[in-house]
Structure 1
């Protein structure tokens, strides 16, 4: 039995999908029958052993048969609704016929390891279990292709994507943005990785060490995290290209996987190419469209 299946079995979750509310794109209430969900973005609830958890699901009108799934994890202080609004994944879903799910963390945070972050870490929330149950539900109810399950996240959400990859084998690829790996990761399953980071990020420092801001994230240097995944995936030495302020370091790996580190010179703690989240946040760089970059990476890296 794979690691992911063992974890799912251990959860003993009775999953019930209940519509909560419709978003502005479609004011009709969501159908509570998971097999007959309406197109558009709707809020749902999944019951777990730790209590109900909430998420938003965007389903395009023209959904592929056995579609790919992108799990978009908001940053610390963010939310499912904010992530849906800011990062442009609904437009990708409409164009590509994929599903995008936006889970909500407890207290707007994820328990991503290393004491991070906020309420989720203090309460030792089982966010890995929650995400596994959610993915399981979508594979069953929406006929998601198990070989095309992808996870991306911003900041604390990026850290959570690493935590999920470190302890399960359900993802084909992950794409952390402006985060680092804080979870224990002694023997992860191979997975394609695209890490995107602003070289001037003061909150989660590219070269490691304590960052500024709430929580003062003290993580390892990002290059060392990427080198660990290159070893896990049995990769070639990286080929480096630079286009303007953007530097790509790409390694090709066993079974067709890929590990890539992309840095944006002058960019801070942000999702380049996105909308401004709040006035106090670093303004997003216009040097790279991160959402499109991630989708191209995901599309090229299904599970072997």
Structure 2
């Protein structure tokens, strides 16, 4: 019995190591780095075959404690890039004092951090535009959780570079909202579960969880609706494709007759802190890491496909 347990443990351990080291082995993915403010900053670049000049660029940012390889694996964004021919970059955060990967967006426990992720992303994008002849009017950002917060951060403070953003399970810290002044209307697409127990749907202005004060999701959406001078155009439920997930989606669309800068808000009813997917974007053999990390409380949409459908409105 003891020997069987040891053998099983070794198999699981070796398999886990193989999975964790297979994240950036997708064809056409390149792990690269640049020196920024004295720090070697890593990122993973995905270049679809036949990428034309003047193609769009999508920045995809990971969550707190996660990594570029992990979000590349579970999001399935590379498959969309193959079909639609856009460049994808997955920036890697730095390590905080707790030993976790992060992007600096103003959490209270990062108050002493000197990491300038805003300038890092701007520098990275500028370099990629030049190297790959990217259309500078078609630069987009999305991300999960902390990466979603970064997307909002870029919408506020890098609107001269970004065309639209799509935060997933993200929020805006209260200090960000108070200082947010984009120089143009910014299309926003937020997907958020109302049962999210990490980035709370109803916000945390009392800072009970220690991230710092942040408002509820509707307040954030209302901020951008007002910023873009929009009004509610439509609201409806999506088809409940997978009734077994005990979850459904309501779509709120804001627009204006005189503006093309829409705000989309998908509320995942009973949705948790995750990236909704119809199914795992990969089989185990295609991407062990993507298969390993696949987890979704809602299986009615493909989030990456929905994100690109939104971005595509501003890249044609």
Of residues 134, 137, 140 in structure 2, which corresponds to 1:150?
Answer: 140
Alpha-carbon deviation of 1:125?
Answer: 0.9
Output aligned runs, 1:170-185, within 5 Å: 170-182=161-173, 183-184=176-177, 185=179
Matched with 1:90 is: 78
Distance 1:78 1:248, change over 3 A: same
Say whether residues 1:287 and 2:300 are aligned partners.
yes
Contact 2:73 2:290 in 1 (8 A): no
Say whether residues 1:109 and 2:134 are aligned partners.
no
Distance 1:181 1:281, change over 3 A: farther
Contact 2:53 2:132 in 1 (8 A): no
Matched with 2:25 is: 24
Contact 1:270 1:282 in 2 (8 A): yes
1:28-75: per-residue Cα shift (whole Å, max 9, x none)?
Answer: xxxxxxxxxxxx001111111242211000001121221100100000
| Unmatched 5+ stretches in structure 2 | 1-22, 96-100, 241-247, 281-288
Question: Greater relative contact order (Cα 8 A, min sep 6): structure 1 or 2?
Answer: 2
Distance 1:252 1:97, change over 3 A: same
Matched with 1:29 is: none
Matched with 1:252 is: 255
Say whether residues 1:162 and 2:155 are aligned partners.
no
Distance in 2 (alpha carbons) for counterparts of 1:109 and 1:213: 20
SS at match of 1:270: coil
TM-score calculated relative to the size of structure 2:
0.77
Say whether residues 1:42 and 2:65 are aligned partners.
no
Distance in 1 (alpha carbons) for counterparts of 2:314 and 2:300: 24
Alpha-carbon deviation of 1:248?
Answer: 0.7
Alpha-carbon deviation of 1:281?
Answer: 9.5
1:187-219: per-residue Cα shift (whole Å, max 9, x none)?
Answer: 223210000001111111111127999855642
Contact 2:42 2:91 in 1 (8 A): yes
Alpha-carbon deviation of 1:233?
Answer: 0.8
Alpha-carbon deviation of 1:124?
Answer: 2.7
Contact 1:159 1:180 in 2 (8 A): yes
Matched with 2:56 is: 68
Higher gyration radius (CA):
2
How much is the aligned-residue C-alpha RMSD, in angstroms? 2.8
Matched with 1:187 is: 181
1:100-147: per-residue Cα shift (whole Å, max 9, x none)?
Answer: 000000111011124265xxx542310000000000001111011111
TM-score calculated relative to the size of structure 1:
0.80
- Equivalences, count: 267
Distance in 1 (alpha carbons) for counterparts of 2:302 and 2:294: 18
